[in-house]
Structure 1
């Protein structure tokens, strides 16, 4: 009689353990299966400024139907797609107003950010309007900002992304060189200034890549895909100064989005 009760108890315990393990595995599997949504965050380079075909509801942000996040989503049909990247967004803007769609169901996040923080728009304005000396001084200030302030801003943003979307694979994309050195341009900025601007992009990418790696994110370097297609090349994928649409200046064209950014993001995702 005692053996029978012991056998029944052991059988019940084994069944309970099996159910618990199975339930946990099922819950984990369901969670993993649910994390298939895609959220695109960031600044103008992710919004698609310069690519045209802007979405009517995003007049201020200038989100383009030709931006790499839209092209990727169209090709891969994620379970959900939220396009939050916005022209001029800094790390604080992304943190404050773009993270709403992130959740445990988010499986993929893309982002470009840091260029606006470092003041690249102001740098380019200075370089175009105020000459080489003022331009090089503005670039130097941008370098100082990248070293002193940007890493902490990126840490706060990347940490928030991880907390709100713990299952997500996060791809941080960098920025292309603006100029092909010794290229086809006649006049305009000096070769010294063009080289300094490219070095500033290198520094920004290095700072961003380091912070991304420290948070377990993937960094996508677009400099190689844009190589030979910078401003002053024969077939540029970046817009030069455009007085009729100043905001689009120094941004990727539709081809820059589809041939420069999209392949890097597709490989990294």
Structure 2
């Protein structure tokens, strides 16, 4: 996802297979059964590593801002950079092509930014690529726009002094779910696009282990805990949190269906949302207290996401 108005908002399941080889000698005098073979060990994937994704991957406004084009807002301390450092990768074995505002379409086509054009992200892949992380989807469903509209609606309700009496009111939810659930419809359509993108990643990088990285929790479980930092109607806090979980569920399902691994960052981010104390939050609210884009991960958040990815890699 990316900064509001331009960029989008936003435990790996690994299966071990134990192969047991049993051999029975044909000579009755020398019949014997071999001991079971040990389970094959999957080494933690190293480089070449390519990081794909939107602004929740790139880390806008987190210093130092690096890379080309400048409009992609990549941080030298985003989770791909931290993962690459932990894996001990050489500069030549790590490419971060994530970009603020990226959608799934930008994986296969150039993306224009305020400062330069980012080449199609999948152009960074090669047959020698061994590790790929992908964090994308929030911009495809327009989650930034949804949050912006819900904040505006919540602010109006607060000014009208209605939130104190109607704690379960969800005016924004009513707007998006009257008739057809617009957000759910977009999530489903995004899932189809993601499936095709994962197939293309596999075609271009057949030796790579692919990890689809979900989005950390933006809002708390209780809507009443968010009125100061994010002026949302309490019912809309619950609505937006549910839609983010719905998006993450789709990402996990599509990842597993394609043979990729899903990295859950939502669970470890519990209690670190935009409405939590400044010292512990992973996501900055409308008025950031540390260098980060509005409603985006700060350095703590990127570090937490890196920890989740590394845990998945080593599982």
TM-score by length of 1: 0.80
Residue by residue over 1:67-94, the C-alpha shift from the partner in whole angstroms, topping out at 9 and shown as x without a partner, is 0101111222335111100001000011
- Structure 2 SS opposite 1:267: helix
Match runs of 1:172-191 below 5 Å: 172-182=212-222, 184-187=225-228, 188-191=231-234
Contact preservation (8 Å) 1:35, 1:167:
no
Q: 2:77 aligns with which of 66, 70, 85?
A: 66
Moved over 4 A (4+): none
Inter-CA distance 150–241: structure 2 relative to 1 (3 Å threshold): same
The RMSD of aligned alpha carbons is: 2.4
- Which sections of structure 2, spanning at least 5 residues, go unmatched? 1-44, 110-119, 155-169
Say whether the 8 Å CA contact 1:136–1:196 is kept in structure 2. no
2:217 & 2:129 partners in 1: Cα distance?
31
Does residue 123 in structure 1 map to residue 161 in structure 2? no
CA distance in 1, matches of 2:64, 2:190: 32
Structure 1: 5+ residue runs without aligned partners?
1-33
More helix by share: 1
Say which one has the larger Rg: 1
Match in the other structure for 1:88: 101
CA distance in 2, matches of 1:266, 1:120: 27
| Equivalent residue number for residue 135 of structure 2 | 112
Match of 1:230 in 2: 273
User: How big is the shift at 1:184?
Assistant: 4.5
CA displacement at 1:137 relative to structure 2: 2.7
Q: Write out aligned runs for 1:12-161 (5 A).
A: 36-49=47-60, 51-55=62-66, 57-78=68-89, 80-96=93-109, 97-131=120-154, 132-134=170-172, 136-138=174-176, 140-147=181-188, 149-161=189-201
**Counterpart Cα distance in 1 of 2:268 and 2:131:** 22
Shift of 1:53: 2.3
Q: Which residue of the other structure, out of 254, 257, 260, is the alignment partner of 1:217?
A: 260
Counterpart CA distance in 2 for 1:100 and 1:206 is 28
Aligned residue for 1:106, secondary structure, equals: coil
Residue by residue over 1:114-136, the C-alpha shift from the partner in whole angstroms, topping out at 9 and shown as x without a partner, is 11101011111111123452455
Q: Which of 245, 250, 255 matches 2:295?
A: 250
77-86 or 175-184: bigger deviation: 175-184
Counterpart for residue 239 of structure 1: 284
Equivalenced residue count is 234
1:52 shift after superposition: 3.5
What is the alpha-carbon distance in structure 1 between the residues aligned to residue 226 and residue 96 of structure 2? 35
Change (3 A) 1:56 1:100: closer
